[in-house]
Structure 1
Amino acid sequence: MSKEMQELQKQWRFMMKSIHSNSNVVAFMNSRIGQYLDDHPFVALSLLVFIAVSAIPVAFFLMFVVATAVMACIGVIIMEGVVISAGGIALLCVLGGLGLLSLAVSGVMSICYVAFTTLINYWYTPKSQAMDQEANGNGFSLNSSPNSDPSVNNKSK
């Protein structure tokens, strides 16, 4: 057993020598904080125990922060997708309604245009054309002219 203990002490010394020869440890031990902790071993041990014990709660808190941030991002993405989908459907409905409304309005306007132009042509027929039509007995047909009536053409021939 003493051989095993000697082997263990050898490994411990090698590990301590490698730690003390590390350039970061040497720089820390030469600083004011390192010298203070070297002079006050109880404070150094208390600080070491505090850091070791507080590592687990700090790790849990950081995992909670990261998980919350990820869930918030996913939630925002999902919520944004839902809002954009609802907005797209609403826009599609509005545009469909506006398309039907524009068809209806253009239909009504076309009918009004035809009706008004017919009425205006009927009411405001030039007097010379009206007299020619009365003389020929054609009445007030819009498309007939004195020479376009086939019965008049046949009589003259």
Structure 2
Amino acid sequence: MEDFKWESKIAVFLNSNAGKYLSDHPFITLVLLVFAVTASVPVGLFLAFAVVTLITITAYSIFVEIFLLTIGGVILLCVLCCLALVAFWISCVLSILYIIGSHIQNYSLIPRVPEKTVSAGDMETKKDLND
């Protein structure tokens, strides 16, 4: 029963403006997918860092926490910007490989022209012409 709920949520998303836009622009969808996958680790590390920082508030002053969270936020911002660039370039490489692969596949599947077969009747007329 839960699968049906997921399918209806997916259908609602695909019918939304964002879903239609992403369906029409697969390269942007690929960039967002690669970015989301690669960004999950630094975001998780930052959240773990934030939790540890919040736990240590009892031992440190509020200024130390603000300073550490600011530094962590700046570092996270830098990492996410770099990951966005990496995701863009990975998507470019994957798209180029896909295009090259599809062209190679299209050229390898070009139908060959069969050799001309000569029927028995044509052979008889050819013999008559040679005599």
Normalising by structure 2, what TM-score?
A: 0.40
Q: Which has the higher contact order (CA 8 A, sep 6+)?
A: 2
Structure with larger Rg:
1
